[in-house]
Structure 1
Amino acid sequence: MTSGARMRRRDPENLVHEETGKLIEKSIFLAWSSFNIPDPIYELPDFPAIRPSGALTLIQQGLGLHSADMMGFRLRLENSVSEHYRMVPGHFDEDERRLSWMSKNISLLADDVCTKTASDWLELALDENHSDADRWYLGYSLLAGRILCGSESASSNQSIPLAIAFGGFANDNMREAPHPSGINAINCLFDASEQSEHSSSLDSWISILATHESVSRMLSISNRAADRLIQERKKASIECMSALVQLIPHDIDSASHGINRVVNEGGKSAKLLVAKNLDSIAGRDWRLGLDLYDQLSTTSDDEILYILASYLYSLCHDDPSLFQIRALNLIEIGNDKVTRRLIESGFRGYLDRNPSDDHSLLAMAWNHGGPLTRSRLKGLIFQQKKASKHGFEKTLSRIAEISESQGRILSEYILGRETS
């Protein structure tokens, strides 16, 4: 290999190292100037933590460690590349392809290396027996700065928020109660992020922390999730909606309060998210799911109504009478697309359990629907005749009452199917 080739191989690493240093400086300064960095979770009684005199001192420490610990940097970079880079089996020059990919993804790699650096520093700070206060200020400030910058790597990390909340990265810590100082540190970061232009950067943390009952209560996860869903008018957060759903099994009151707030105060995108999650909500608490359906069904928004029509039968599966009443209400709206969706997602199951169609849903849908709706209903009505002749005759009669011609068209279709 030529010296030139070796130089090219080193270039991406050097570029990532340089960019990581810039991010460390920028992030620590931003965090330190944005809010009061909390003191370490663990402090030795005889050696209380000494706060840095300012951002400059902390930046110098961080950059010094970054420059001195090349082995740690290379390990973090290698881990980052292995997580993001996808090899092509059989490629004739995989090493060159990998280097080329690294050169094109300097920002991605530097961001990820920064998050891993913050995680490593925090791990040293969260060693209860040998805690390092300096690493706490460095790690927390770097992490906070990356969050405030909108870092995808920092905001999607699943281990850091739990480690801070419970005061350690070991799994044993997470079987115990959250650490009060850790909860305070998370709260400080949440509050700071909500004031920044990247206020949605911690949405995934909200979803992660919602899985732990004690943590979710202490951090008011339901209120934070609901607030973010309500405030975001353009594209509501899937992670925040997921957090509210995950709260249901262990904190139904908070979850119910939060989701109801979203339905009553949120914009269209937030209400759409609730509608799309009705099945998941009902799977955890059936009554809550049905109550939310009823609230959402008062809307005139076609998109929300279409989703409600998709889920209605599954929500009412254990009680067909609940389906019948709500299906009638949807049909009477007169939206042909919504009615067709209701037919596709629920009518076959409904007729299997109630072939006589006591509430005359088939006739109502026929009379309120257009040609496409009636086309879908013909086959179901033909199947109804096989299962319940009385039910079929009632359906035909109801349709003919409104329109003799439609009743005749349907009769001719059924006769044609039977004689073919």
Structure 2
Amino acid sequence: MAFGRSRQETSAIVHTHCVELLQELMRFGTLEWPLPPPPVRDADLPVVEPASPAKVVEMGVGLFSVDRASMVRHLDVAREAIIPHRLSLTVDPQKEGERWLLRRLDEVAERILFATCEEWLGLALDPDAPDGDRWYIGISLLNGLCRAPTPQATNRGYHMLESIALAHPPGSWPTRPDPGPHQVDWKPENAPGASVGADEAGIDASHWLLDQLEQGDLERRALLVSWLRLMIERPALVTGLALPMRLEQMVRDQPVEVAAELVGCLPRLFELDEQAAQVVLISVRMRRDLQVRRALAEVLPALLRVLGTDALNLLDELLADSEVDIQLAAASALRQLAVLFPQELTSRLAVLAEHEDVRMRRLLAQTVLRDYLELHPDDEHGFLVKFWLERDDVSRARLRELLIRQQDVVPEGFSSVARNILDADGAGLDDLWATLEVRDADRVQAWRGHLAGEGPLPAPTP
């Protein structure tokens, strides 16, 4: 009985908090008036538009207050999701669980209101019996709930946006990302499932909601970026919602924090619409903000994959940037360059090897030199020898690994590299011999004899 009373008390407190929060959110959600018309209409029952924002708020609060059973059901779902398992090990798990909920009233209320909003929009988008009143209170509540990039707003909010765009009741994902070789169970012979198309009226309503986020504060814009990143994986919406045009406008006009986050959409956009993506890329390159250029440098590996040699000019531009941090970020793409276009690696590596910042040489030693040695086992251009003789402890740790591996696998190449090192510094390999001697002292003696001209070339290690 005590446990039942505890749950009832929790339910009453949560309900009161939900009503207060619902009023606040719906007032916020109706600031932009009028609201968009419902995407789905009943031909026999014309939609009666609400007379004022206050009327929408009144309908929403009244409906939520009357339907107490739905609130309790959503509270039970939230209880299962929020209360951690470890509380079941306490002396009184039920009591501790209720306390846990009451300390997180805002999170509980957010989950309940998102579930309520899904129900309202589900009835509003029902193709058999659409409910116009629930459309207006549902879209107002959704606009109010999406004020910050919380997990609920990012995932459930986007799901409802997609449902609106497709005029499809929420509750199951109406679209899914295209299958591909990045998935474990992908099979090329399997044809993709039936595609869905955007609804014209739903598109208009979705644009209204996206515009509210774009015109909002920085947190709402961050949420919008999260939605756009999800949306770009669903080609059915990219064209219908004119996503490339919105991206281009936002890159030009939005603050640097928002524009930098949008740069991550470029690789996927190139796969969907190369011409539109080129326009967005031009807008990105016109911005000289450090954060935007760094974001562009970070997506260079992906751009090399989708653009091929067309991305080389962009790579060279960022490698020659005035900011060292941008150069370092761009240099990280050289490993992808070595995989895709190995013939383009050496010329760029030759320039960066002379960089005055030690961080660049450390980065090259960590990421690119192994690929370079696979192309030039004898270190034809002397990059490995140069980095080794600099005696930088950070770089040398990686170079030591490469040299030990090389003398095991490609003795001819190691012999050439070792002779070049000894020609420059007679004691240059002492550090390497000390490490290798711990593992195989006989092999060290064999190498010493060979390099002194007193023995044959050691065989590869099996």
SS where residue 333 of structure 1 aligns?
coil
Q: Which residue of 1 aligns with 2:256?
A: 233
Q: Which residue of 2 aligns with 1:134?
A: 133
- RMSD (Å) for aligned C-alpha atoms: 3.2
**CA 1:228–1:94 in structure 2 vs 1: closer, same or farther (change >3 Å)?**
farther
* Structure-2 separation of matches of 1:260 and 1:365: 37
**CA 1:378–1:76 in structure 2 vs 1: closer, same or farther (change >3 Å)?**
closer
* Structure-2 separation of matches of 1:23 and 1:237: 33
Q: Which residue of 1 aligns with 2:197?
A: 177
Q: Which residue of 1 aligns with 2:162?
A: 162
In structure 1, what residue type is equivalent to 2:43? P
Larger mean CA deviation between 183-192 and 9-18 belongs to 9-18
C-alpha contact 1:339 1:369 (8 A) present in aligned 2:
no
Shift of 1:80: 2.5
Shift of 1:225: 4.0
Which runs of no fewer than 5 residues in structure 2 stay unpaired?
Answer: 176-194, 437-443, 449-462
Match of 1:312 among 334, 345, 354: 334
Q: Which residue of 1 aligns with 2:369?
A: 347
Match of 1:25 among 19, 23, 26: 23
C-alpha contact 2:222 2:258 (8 A) present in aligned 1:
no
C-alpha contact 1:166 1:178 (8 A) present in aligned 2:
yes
Q: Which residue of 2 aligns with 1:38?
A: 36
Q: Which residue of 2 aligns with 1:277?
A: 299
SS where residue 340 of structure 2 aligns?
coil
Shift of 1:165: 0.9
Which runs of no fewer than 5 residues in structure 1 stay unpaired?
Answer: none
Q: Which residue of 2 aligns with 1:358?
A: 380
**CA 1:414–1:156 in structure 2 vs 1: closer, same or farther (change >3 Å)?**
closer
Larger mean CA deviation between 81-90 and 185-194 belongs to 81-90
Shift of 1:62: 0.7
**CA 1:136–1:180 in structure 2 vs 1: closer, same or farther (change >3 Å)?**
same
Could you say which structure has the higher helix fraction? 1
Larger mean CA deviation between 129-138 and 307-316 belongs to 307-316
C-alpha contact 2:319 2:331 (8 A) present in aligned 1:
no
Match of 1:52 among 44, 50, 53: 50
C-alpha contact 1:43 1:49 (8 A) present in aligned 2:
yes
Q: Which residue of 2 aligns with 1:410?
A: 428
In structure 2, what residue type is equivalent to 1:326? R
SS where residue 332 of structure 2 aligns?
helix
Deviation per residue, 1:283-311 (Å, 9 max, x gap): 44444655543332222434333333333
Q: Which residue of 2 aligns with 1:190?
A: 210
**CA 1:283–1:96 in structure 2 vs 1: closer, same or farther (change >3 Å)?**
farther
In structure 2, what residue type is equivalent to 1:196? G
Larger mean CA deviation between 70-79 and 164-173 belongs to 164-173
Shift of 1:54: 0.3
Shift of 1:212: 1.9
Q: How many residues are aligned here?
A: 412
In structure 2, what residue type is equivalent to 1:124? L
* Structure-2 separation of matches of 1:302 and 1:20: 51
Q: TM-score, normalised by structure 1?
A: 0.85
Q: Which residue of 2 aligns with 1:323?
A: 345
* Structure-2 separation of matches of 1:141 and 1:15: 24
What is the percent sequence identity of the aligned residues? 22
* Structure-2 separation of matches of 1:321 and 1:334: 25
Matches within 5 A, 1:206-285: 206-225=228-247, 228=250, 231-234=254-257, 238=261, 240-265=262-287, 267-285=289-307
* Structure-1 separation of matches of 2:235 and 2:24: 35
In structure 1, what residue type is equivalent to 2:25? S
SS where residue 77 of structure 2 aligns?
helix
Q: TM-score, normalised by structure 2?
A: 0.78
SS where residue 34 of structure 1 aligns?
coil
Larger mean CA deviation between 135-144 and 253-262 belongs to 253-262
**CA 1:266–1:123 in structure 2 vs 1: closer, same or farther (change >3 Å)?**
farther
In structure 1, what residue type is equivalent to 2:55? T
* Structure-2 separation of matches of 1:383 and 1:100: 59
Deviation per residue, 1:67-93 (Å, 9 max, x gap): 111111112222233233322254443
**CA 1:356–1:393 in structure 2 vs 1: closer, same or farther (change >3 Å)?**
closer
Shift of 1:395: 7.9
**CA 1:72–1:54 in structure 2 vs 1: closer, same or farther (change >3 Å)?**
same
C-alpha contact 2:23 2:61 (8 A) present in aligned 1:
yes
Shift of 1:134: 0.8
Q: Which residue of 2 aligns with 1:297?
A: 319
